[in-house]
């Protein structure tokens, strides 16, 4: 009785890649730190890398934004992926403010409309741990509270309760 031979499958080695994650001010990447040291010796055209990062982050001027660059070490091809800035930065941008309140109990730095909160929540939707817009809106409201912002003239916790009771269902879609 003959035994069947097992077919050998030739394994293809994975292409070596390097992934670098950095925080960059929107539209202001340079070949210097943090990019230069991270990619030094890889043989990349840093001018191209910086140009692509700046093009993809220009809408986030004056804001720190997470950027991930994946480099194929054999072909020297790279891919730039841009995340969204922290929620607090998006709130401050909507208010055109530089920083949050130093006294949350008595000093508010501004008031946002629910539409602005929903807009920020939609920006955060792809990176959120939930796909329910209503939940992300409530998370943004929590950040608004910690920055010292009112929403529709109310404490953000009150607006969260309004959302739970369905008051803003038509706006949050």
Q: Are 150 and 105 in contact (CB under 8 A)?
A: no
**Given this model, what pLDDT does residue 54 score?**
94
- Scanning the chain, the segments in alpha helix (DSSP H) are 35-39, 46-57, 87-95, 114-124, 133-147, 156-164
User: Is residue 4 scored above 70 in pLDDT?
Assistant: no
Cα angle value 54/55/59 (rounded, 5°) = 90
Distance in angstroms (rounded) separating the CA atoms of residues 173 and 168: 9
Return the number of other C-beta atoms located less than 10 Å from residue 55's C-beta.
13
**Confidence class for position 9, pLDDT limits 50, 70, 90:** low
Q: What is the dihedral of CA 17, 19, 25, 29, to 10 degrees?
A: -30
Give me the chain's average pLDDT, please: 87
Domains of the chain: 17-82 (3.30.1550.10), 87-164 (1.10.10.250)
Of 41 and 49, the one with more pLDDT: 49
- What are the counts of helices (DSSP H) followed by strands (DSSP E) for the chain? 6, 5
User: Is residue 139 scored above 90 in pLDDT?
Assistant: yes
**Given this model, what pLDDT does residue 124 score?**
87
Distance in angstroms (rounded) separating the CA atoms of residues 22 and 136: 25
DSSP string, 148-169: TEEETTB-HHHHHHHHHTTTTT
**Given this model, what pLDDT does residue 148 score?**
94
**Confidence class for position 157, pLDDT limits 50, 70, 90:** very high
Overall average pLDDT of the 10-33 stretch:
82
**Smallest Cα–Cα separation from 145: which of 135, 160, 167?**
160
Overall average pLDDT of the 148-152 stretch:
94
**Given this model, what pLDDT does residue 13 score?**
59
Q: Are 27 and 61 in contact (CB under 8 A)?
A: yes
Poorest-pLDDT segment among 76-80, 82-86, 100-104, 166-170? 100-104
**Smallest Cα–Cα separation from 135: which of 160, 166, 171?**
160
């Amino acid at each position: 009785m003959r035994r069947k031979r097992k077919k050998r499958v030739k394994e293809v080695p994975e292409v070596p890649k390097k992934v670098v994650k950095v925080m960059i001010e929107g539209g202001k990447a340079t070949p210097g730190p943090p990019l230069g040291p991270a990619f030094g010796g890889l043989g990349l055209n840093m001018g191209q890398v910086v140009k692509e990062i700046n093009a993809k982050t220009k809408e986030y001027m004056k804001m720190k934004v997470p950027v991930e660059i994946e480099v194929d070490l054999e072909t020297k091809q790279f891919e730039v992926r841009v995340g969204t800035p922290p929620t607090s930065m998006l709130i401050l941008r909507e208010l055109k403010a530089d920083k949050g309140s130093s006294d949350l109990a008595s000093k508010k730095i501004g008031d946002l409309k629910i539409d602005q909160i929903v807009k920020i929540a939609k920006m955060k939707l792809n990176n959120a741990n939930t796909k329910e817009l209503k939940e992300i809106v409530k998370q943004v409201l929590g950040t608004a509270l910690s920055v010292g912002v009112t929403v529709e003239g109310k404490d953000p916790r009150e607006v969260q309760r309004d959302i739970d009771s369905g008051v803003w269902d038509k706006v949050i879609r």
